Amino acid sequence: MEDKILLAHGSGGKLMHDLIESFMPELANPILEKLDDSAVFDVSGRLAFTTDSYTVNPIFFPGGDIGRLAVCGTVNDLAMSGAKPLYLSLAFIIEEGLAVADLKKIVGSIAEAAGEAGVKIVTGDTKVVNRGSADKIFINTAGVGIVPEGVNISAAKARPGDKVIISGNIGDHGIAVLSKREGLKFHTPVPSDCAPLNGLVADILAASKDIHSLRDPTRGGLAVTLNDFARQSKAGIRIDEDTIPMNKAVMAACELLGLDPLHIANEGKLAAAVPVENAERVLAAMKRNKYGRDAAIIGEVVKEHPGQVVMKTSLGASRIIDMPVGELLPRIC
């Protein structure tokens, strides 16, 4: 077999067939193995359906790679509506010249993450484009899941009095990717937190079905998620800087680069607005899950300043947390 992906690998002929065959065993399941034009399966209940495309530079980073990201991202989007994720589609757009070994590694990560999340890849597609038309590899995944009876979660449902909970340290993914991309070396390397959160959500729902809002703070970080809650729910959110869990290395990296950790992406965290009477029970359930070990209550939903997030700083001042504007760029000097 060739050691680089060629345009011919995407042409639908023998090479493509061999390529797909080579990674089939890792992803195998009865639905996928039929290799029909569409996957056919039974579902019953309220269906959750989502899609996302993944591009990341570098494609391999501490704590994960684009394959793991493509599975976890879509699984998490399903989980944030309270759904139990079931089936994923998987589509590659590959730049000519990608090492076949890299593709295999990515497929391995996809299989591993799907296994961990308990989802099946049931349909897929592979395209190869000319060098320069894509950056190494782009992945799209779409997913379906079933929302259990009695679960009704939305960013518009946060209510004054709700406690705001974050499932763990913020900013790990963004700093991991940035430091790898820019060749920044820190004493303590920060691995990405990229992880499937459907297990954590199941534990939360087992503790209480009455969860108002759930969202994973990916691009734009916790600042965007909390602003989404506040704006969509037409309520205010107040958080306390001292309670926000953060890895010291991330804090140090943010200081060095002049970045705000609240603006930095996460790929294995969720933020929740939970009625006050259920908050401690939900927090305890989260702490028992390995992806919620560092969970903490960081604030509450309030009637005042609807649509705005206000943070009490360590020194006792308060400041507005707005969405980040534009790209995050390290300071110049």
Partner 1 sequence: MKYVNEYRDPELGKKLLERIRRNSRKHIRLMEFCGGHTVAIFKHGLRQLLPSNIEMLSGPGCPVCVTASMDLDRAIAMAKLPDVIITSFGDMVRVPGSRSSLQKAKAEGADVRIVYSAQDALKMAKENPDKAIIFIGIGFETTAPTIAASILQAEQEEIKNYFVLSLHKTCPPIMKAILDLGEVKLDGIICPGHVSAVIGSRPYQFLADDYQIACAVSGFEPVDILLAVDSLVEQIESGQPKVEITYRRGVKEGGNPAALKLMDAVFEVGSADWRGIGVVPESGLQIRKRYEGFDAAKRFDIKVSTAKEPKGCICGAVLRGVSTPLECKLFRRLCTPENPIGPCMVSSEGSCATYYQYGEGSGR
Which residues form the interface with partner 1 (CB under 8 A)? 182, 186-187, 242, 248-249, 251-252, 255-256, 258, 260, 305, 308, 313-320, 322, 325-327, 329-333
CB of 247 to partner 1, least distance (A): 12
Q: 64 or 261, CB closer to partner 1?
A: 261
Given the complex with partner 1, which of 68 and 136 has the nearer CB atom? Answer: 136
Nearest approach, Cβ of residue 322 and partner 1 (Å): 6
Least distance from partner 1 to the Cβ atom of residue 170, Å: 15
For the CB of residue 129, give the shortest distance to partner 1 in the complex, in Å. Answer: 21
DSSP string, 42-68: ---SEEEEEEEEE--SSSEETTEEHHH
Q: Which is nearer to partner 1, 165 or 321 (CB)?
A: 321
100-117 and 66-79 helices cross at what angle (nearest 10)?
Answer: 30
- Structure tokens, 258: 């002049």
Q: Which is nearer to partner 1, 37 or 327 (CB)?
A: 327
Report the 10 Å Cβ neighbour count for 133.
10
CA distance 15 to 7: 10
Which 3 state secondary structure label does DSSP give 192?
A: coil
């020194």: which residue's tokens? 315
CB atoms within 10 A of CB 163: 21
- Cα dihedral 235, 309, 279, 156 sign: positive
C-beta separation of 25 from 32 below 8 A? no
Alpha carbon distance, N-terminus to C-terminus of the chain? 49
Q: From the CB of 40, what's the least distance to partner 1, in Å? A: 45
Min CB(242)–partner 1 separation in Å: 7
The answer, yes or no, to whether the previous bond of 58 is cis (omega within 30 of 0) is yes
Alpha carbon 186 to chain centroid distance?
24
Q: Amino acid identity, residue 83?
A: A
25 vs 330, beta carbon nearer partner 1? 330
* Closer residue to partner 1, CB minimum distance, 13 or 330: 330
Picking from 113, 91, 109, 93, the residue whose alpha carbon sits closest to that of residue 101 is 109
At its nearest, how many Å lie between partner 1 and the CB of residue 257?
10
CB 291 within 8 Å of CB 200: yes
Helix (H) or strand (E) holding 16: helix 14-27
In this complex, which beta carbon is closest to partner 1, that of residue 187 or of residue 290?
187
Q: Which is nearer to partner 1, 1 or 332 (CB)?
A: 332
Rounded Cα–Cα distance for residues 332 and 235 (Å): 37
By C-beta, is 12 or 307 nearer to partner 1? 307
CB of 55 to partner 1, least distance (A): 16
Tokens 């705005």 -> residue: 308
Nearest distance from C-beta of residue 166 to partner 1, angstroms: 19
Judge whether 204 and 80 are in contact, CB under 8 Å: no
Cis before 148? omega within 30: no
